[in-house]
């Protein structure tokens, strides 16, 4: 009889939670969407992709796009000789990159390696951005990485 007393309240709570969560909006990162005002860059990347011109692709936000600006000398020295493509768009978030991937950014490419980077978590408003509020899983479950790597057991 005791297990039944536990199961019934849990079932009620579960039903209430599922109804409440059913109306909550889908997180932006799970809703691929184009980045307004960046259509020309997207079209340029699609052209490179369709021509199959890049065995190495960097896909990301303003940090990646920066390689074609202030980081151009470094790009030319290290990445251009490898025929790398810079598919960085400043301000891109996860939902934008997912949309780009679904809309031609890799069509026709046979990449040997690809790097993807977005530095901010998706948020409906950058003014309201709070890392712990917007990305609680990332900020509460990751551990710092050190140069020396993980600590090893001293057992022999």
CATH number of 28-120, picked from 3.40.50.1110, 3.60.110.10, 1.10.2020.10, 3.30.565.10? 3.40.50.1110
List the structure tokens of 28: 């932006």
Q: What is the structure's pLDDT at 94? A: 86
Give me the residue spans of the domains in the chain: 28-120
d(CA 15, CA 142): 32
Maximum CA pair distance of the chain? 74
Which candidate, 91, 92, 89, 95, places its Cα nearest to that of 28?
95
Burial (0-12, 13-18, 19+ Cβ within 10 Å), 121 = buried
d(CA 151, CA 156): 14
* Digitized pLDDT (tens) for each residue of the chain, 156 residues in all: 455 555 656 565 665 656 555 566 666 667 788 999 999 999 999 999 999 989 999 999 998 999 999 999 999 999 999 999 999 999 898 889 889 989 999 899 888 888 888 765 544 444 444 444 434 333 333 344 344 444 444 554
């Amino acid at each position: 009889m005791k297990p039944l007393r536990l199961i019934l309240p849990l079932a009620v709570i579960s039903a209430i939670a599922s109804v409440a969560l059913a109306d909550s909006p889908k997180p932006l990162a799970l809703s691929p969407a184009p980045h307004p005002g960046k259509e020309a860059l997207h079209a340029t990347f699609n052209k490179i992709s369709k021509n199959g011109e890049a065995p190495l692709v960097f896909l990301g936000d303003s940090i990646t796009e920066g390689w074609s600006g202030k980081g151009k000398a470094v790009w030319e020295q290290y990445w251009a000789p490898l025929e790398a493509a810079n598919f960085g768009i400043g301000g891109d978030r996860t939902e934008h990159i997912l949309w780009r991937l679904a809309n031609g950014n890799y069509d026709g490419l046979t990449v040997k390696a690809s790097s993807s980077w977005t530095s901010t978590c998706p948020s409906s408003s950058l003014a309201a951005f709070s890392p712990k509020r917007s990305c609680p899983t990332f900020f509460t479950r990751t551990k710092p990485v050190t140069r020396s790597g993980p600590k090893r057991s001293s057992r022999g």
